[in-house]
């Protein structure tokens, strides 16, 4: 479980991994109800099993680091950045 401000609203959201370890869930905090009211499923590309998730920052945005085992049974690191529309998009390592 991780805490991060995914949607840039100044409130901490929660990131969890499901039981199959194939998907991430982002639980968004709603300040009007003081609850986590939205649950968004996020599937990292080509990940068979998620082994670790970390949150960091690039120069201008939040960055999600996902370590997983790919279809070739190799451990890989996937980088995802939040864009200006608060969507999480894959970042190429180039």
pTM of the entire predicted model: 0.80
Report residue 94's pLDDT band, with 50, 70 and 90 as the boundaries: very low
Question: How many domains does the chain fold into?
Answer: 1
Residues 12, 24, 63, 91: what is their CA dihedral angle, to the nearest 10 degrees? -150
- State how far the Cα of 64 lies from the Cα of 42, in Å rounded to an integer: 11
26-40 mean pLDDT: 90
Q: Residue 90: what pLDDT? A: 56
Average pLDDT, the chain: 86
Domain region containing 41: 2-91
pLDDT band at 7 (very low <50, low <70, confident <90, very high): confident
What span, in angstroms and rounded, lies between the C-alpha atoms of 68 and 22? 9
pLDDT band of 73, cuts 50, 70, 90: very high
């Amino acid at each position: 479980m991780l805490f991060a401000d995914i949607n840039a609203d100044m409130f901490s959201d929660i990131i969890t991994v499901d039981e199959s370890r194939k998907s991430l869930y982002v639980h968004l905090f709603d300040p009007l109800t003081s609850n986590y009211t939205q649950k968004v499923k996020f599937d990292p590309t080509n990940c068979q099993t998620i082994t670790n998730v970390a949150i960091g920052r690039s120069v201008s945005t939040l960055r999600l680091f996902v370590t997983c085992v790919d279809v070739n049974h190799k451990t890989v690191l996937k980088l995802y950045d939040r864009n200006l529309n608060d969507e999480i998009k894959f970042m190429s390592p180039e």
